[in-house]
């Protein structure tokens, strides 16, 4: 065997590489099985208005209920799905499932806020608007009932092609949010070129509020800029009342985080909404 020819260090390295490659391959195979075998679910995390204290939206977050491993985090499998191209099928599944759920809520007479759907940069191609339009039609869902969250890496690609697709989505009546804002490399000059209605401050800047001076400065700068650009501003990963108070004073519009709720299953989210639970946002 080839391995026996190498030094001890080489062998160790080889084994580790092999193991990682095997693990990836297994995960990829299992992702395909998950799609075929209905192992994915969408959970919904409320977005709370700082003005009214009410739930004004939710983000759909994919969950993988693995038959042996239990819940697998999207942080683990979405990057792999992006690398392998499986994100196209998974993305289609997410779009379809979200619209199916919205239709089911409508049919049950529930009035639900807009649902935000995450779209990977790799899914963002010329066929996207048409595919979304088909799914909306199929489930008789209005464009205003969903919105799309896209990541900053897409702006870096910053071509006219990307802007054209965004404009097409906006013309269809879809709102676009820029996710994880502040973590990418997009320059401020880029921002105004894109038809984006909402900025989401990344959790990494929220975590240190209100004690870390740098996080405070960054959060303040992002909110000020978003206000100048007339964009709605959502802070993600809000876990403490102190973070909430700071973000409220800055003039942030919406908060999302464990302080209010984790992502919950569809029935649980409907229950929260039905009770019109007025989340206590102290003023």
Q: Which is nearer to ligand C2E, 143 or 182 (CB)?
A: 182
- To Mg ion, the closest distance from the beta carbon of 56 in angstroms equals 16
CA distance 22 to 279: 46
Which of 179, 215, 232, 253 is in the footprint of Mg ion by CB under 5 A? 179
**Using CA atoms, how far apart are residues 104 and 111, in angstroms rounded to an integer?**
11
Kindly indicate which of the ranges 45-53, 98-106, 130-138, 176-184 contains the residues binding Mg ion, using the contact rule CB under 5 A. Answer: 176-184
Sign of the C-alpha dihedral, residues 238, 241, 243, 246? positive
Rounded Cα–Cα distance for residues 18 and 1 (Å): 14
Binding-site member from 97, 180, 232, 253 for Mg ion (CB under 5 A): 180
- What are the φ/ψ torsions at residue 27 (nearest 5 degrees)? -60, -40
> Which residue of the chain is nearest ligand C2E when measured via CB?
257
118 binds Mg ion (CB under 5 A): yes
Q: Which is nearer to Mg ion, 57 or 129 (CB)?
A: 57
**Which residues in this chain contact ligand C2E in the complex, by CB under 6 A?**
45, 61-62, 73-75, 78, 91, 94, 118-120, 149, 179-180, 203, 236-239, 256-258, 263
H or E element at residue 59:
strand 55-66
Distance of CA 175 to the CA centre of its chain: 14
Question: Which residues from 41-60 bind Mg ion, rule CB under 5 A?
Answer: none
DSSP code string of 168-215: HHHHTT-EEEEEEETSS---HHHHTTS---EEEE-HHHHTTTTT-HHH
Among residues 120 and 145, whose Cβ is nearest to ligand C2E? 120
Q: Which of 120, 124, 147, 149 binds Mg ion (CB under 5 A)?
A: 149
Nearer to Mg ion, 31 or 238 (CB): 238
Residue 152 lies near Mg ion (rule: CB under 5 A): no
């Amino acid at each position: 065997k080839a391995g026996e020819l190498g030094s001890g260090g080489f062998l160790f390295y080889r084994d580790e590489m092999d193991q990682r490659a095997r693990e990836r391959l297994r995960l990829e195979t299992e992702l395909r099985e998950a799609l075929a075998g209905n192992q994915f679910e969408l959970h919904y995390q409320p977005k709370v208005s700082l003005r009214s204290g009410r739930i004004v939206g939710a983000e759909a977050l994919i969950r993988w209920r693995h038959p042996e491993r239990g819940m697998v985090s999207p942080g683990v499998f979405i990057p792999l799905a992006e690398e392998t191209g499986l994100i196209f099928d998974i993305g289609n599944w997410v779009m379809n499932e979200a619209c199916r759920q919205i239709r089911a809520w409508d049919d049950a007479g529930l009035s639900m806020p807009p649902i935000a759907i995450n779209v990977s940069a790799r899914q963002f191609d010329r066929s996207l608007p048409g595919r979304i339009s088909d799914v909306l039609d199929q489930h008789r869902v209005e464009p205003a009932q969903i919105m799309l969250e896209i990541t900053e890496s897409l702006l870096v690609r910053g071509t006219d092609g990307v802007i054209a697709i965004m404009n097409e989505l906006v013309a269809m009546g879809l709102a676009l949010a820029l996710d994880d804002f502040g973590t990418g490399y997009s320059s401020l000059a880029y921002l105004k070129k894109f038809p984006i209605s909402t900025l989401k401050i990344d959790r990494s800047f929220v975590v240190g509020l209100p004690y870390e001076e740098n996080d405070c400065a960054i959060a303040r700068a992002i909110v000020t800029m978003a206000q100048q650009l007339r964009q709605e501003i959502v802070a993600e990963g809000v876990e403490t009342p102190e973070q909430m108070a700071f973000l409220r004073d800055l003039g942030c519009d919406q908060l999302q985080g464990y302080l209010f709720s984790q992502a919950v299953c569809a029935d649980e989210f409907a229950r929260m909404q039905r009770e019109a639970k007025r989340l206590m946002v102290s003023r």
